[in-house]
Structure 1
């Protein structure tokens, strides 16, 4: 008897708090069942640090706030058959997008000069370049499934993944909403 092919899943977080990944882990014992049906091939939760060329389901958490976020979102879209925008930051920008009400230079000055007492300076090395505005994932790449929530409940993530693994199109509005 041959082993059924597992669905490959890749996840990453962009600009956000990583709370959506914590909700993913909150699936608790269902993670054991999920492990029977999926291979997590790339994620901050596993050791593999190279995104494979072909992935069944990609999950992006967080908004696009930097050139690094944009590169990751484009790579996920290129390599993932289905792309999930997970959580309010990914779906609408949420908290990171609050800075859109201010000029980027003013935000940088406030964070790195005005509120610093020791060596106030704008970082220039090992820091991704911020984009002028924070954007939700779908503003830059095509998204197939939107799962709102801050963060989405583990039950909502379980439902969406279970439906996708079964070959069905999930309706996240049945199990979650913005801010829920």
Structure 2
């Protein structure tokens, strides 16, 4: 009796961003069926797992590292994952998320939670994770193995990267798939 080949343990993570990269991932449409035969989705917004697991083969990380919880999760990802992919322009460069970097965190929090009279008010600062002084692209927080640009990356680019990685090949995007934006 032949054992089935071991599936690649895939995780996806959404840090400080808009979830557009995950939406683009879902736009793989029918290709998701083929992908599901090769991978076991072990963590992500569509999985009911509360803690990032050990022994992950491949993780797509969307978004910039913006707060202490993002930083702790990024470190856990790096410790427990063989291949980490910086997924989308916020993870690759900081992109829109890092626009806040020109404003000191204290001034930003004052403007948002006190002067703007947000519905949750100043008490939100007691329960929200502490913001880092700067929003960081993923590679400034942890070592990244593959960069997958785009805002969001088009499904063809996501597919090309996943196809190469699942075949154990280096990722080499053709010129049309290398652009940002």
Question: Please, what TM-score do these two structures have when normalized by structure 1?
Answer: 0.94
Q: Give the gaps of 5 or more residues in structure 2.
A: none
Q: Could you list the per-position Cα deviations for residues 37-76 of structure 1 after superposition, in whole angstroms to 9, with x for gaps in the alignment?
A: 0111111112233322111101110001100000111011
Please give the alpha-carbon distance, in whole angstroms, between the structure 1 residues aligned to 2:120 and 2:73: 31
**Cα distance in structure 2, aligned partners of 1:121 and 1:2:** 57
Matches within 5 A, 1:51-62: 51-62=52-63
Verify the 8 A CA contact 2:113 2:120 in the aligned structure 1. Answer: no
Q: 1:117 to 1:74 in 2, by over 3 A?
A: closer
Distance 1:150 1:12 in 2: 16
- List, as ranges, runs of 4+ consecutive aligned residues in structure 1 with deviation greater than 4 Å: 117-120
Cα offset, 1:121, TM superposition: 2.0
- Rounded to whole Å, the distance in 2 between the matches of 1:118 and 1:48 is 30
Q: Distance in 1 between matches of 2:127 and 2:109?
A: 16
- Segments of structure 1 that go 5 or more residues without pairing to the other structure are none
**Conservation of the 8 A alpha-carbon contact between 1:9 and 1:58:** yes
1:79–1:117 distance in 2 versus 1, CA, 3 Å:
closer
> Residue 109 of structure 2 corresponds to which residue in structure 1?
108
The RMSD of aligned alpha carbons is 1.5
Contact residue 109 and residue 122 of structure 1 kept, 8 A: no
Conserved 8 A contact 1:20-1:61: yes
Q: Which residue of 2 aligns with 1:145?
A: 146
Shift in CA distance, 149/113, structure 1 to aligned 2, threshold 3 Å = same
